[in-house]
Amino acid sequence: MGEEFHTSKPIYLQIIEKIHRKIVRNELKLGEKLPSVREMAVQMGVNPNTIQRTYSELERVGIVQTKRGQGTFVTENVEVINGLKEKLQEEIIEAFVTNMEELGFSKEDMITGINMYFNKKE
């Protein structure tokens, strides 16, 4: 019943990425309550301390907020979520460009390739 994790990166960072993606995809909505630390630990198949660290880090950067006695909630601050979306987009584009450059593609080759890809999809 747990998630699959890579050994190359700390588990709490991988869980943070999963939560980020759920928020950006609107699977977790603004103001929505996250599962308790214990519930999330069972869902993910990890130690509750890992989830506590995950939630603490998410709170530190403003993605979630903990309300004493009520739980942990996704922020309702649209600017924070928009910033998260922009950050994820930039990371994905940077990885794409880096991979393409390593293969020897120029900026023009990449743009042409992207245009061809979207033209095929239409």
Q: What is the pLDDT of residues 59-115, one digit of tens each?
A: 999 999 999 999 999 999 999 999 999 999 999 999 999 999 999 999 999 999 999
- The residue among 43, 35, 42 whose CA lies nearest residue 71 is 35
Tell me, yes or no, whether 65 and 88 share the same domain.
no
Range of the domain at 32: 11-76
Q: State whether 69 and 100 are in the same domain.
A: no
How close are the terminal C-alpha atoms of the chain, in Å? Answer: 39
One domain, residues 84 and 72: no
Residues 72 and 85 in one domain: no
pLDDT band at 17 (very low <50, low <70, confident <90, very high): very high
pLDDT tops 90 at residue 116: yes
pLDDT of 122 > 90? The answer is: no
Average pLDDT over residues 31-58: 96
Does 64 fall in a domain?
yes
Specify whether 23 is located in the same domain as 50.
yes
Contacts of 48 (CB under 8 A, 6+ apart): 37, 38, 41
Is 23's pLDDT higher than 60? yes
Same domain, 49 and 61: yes
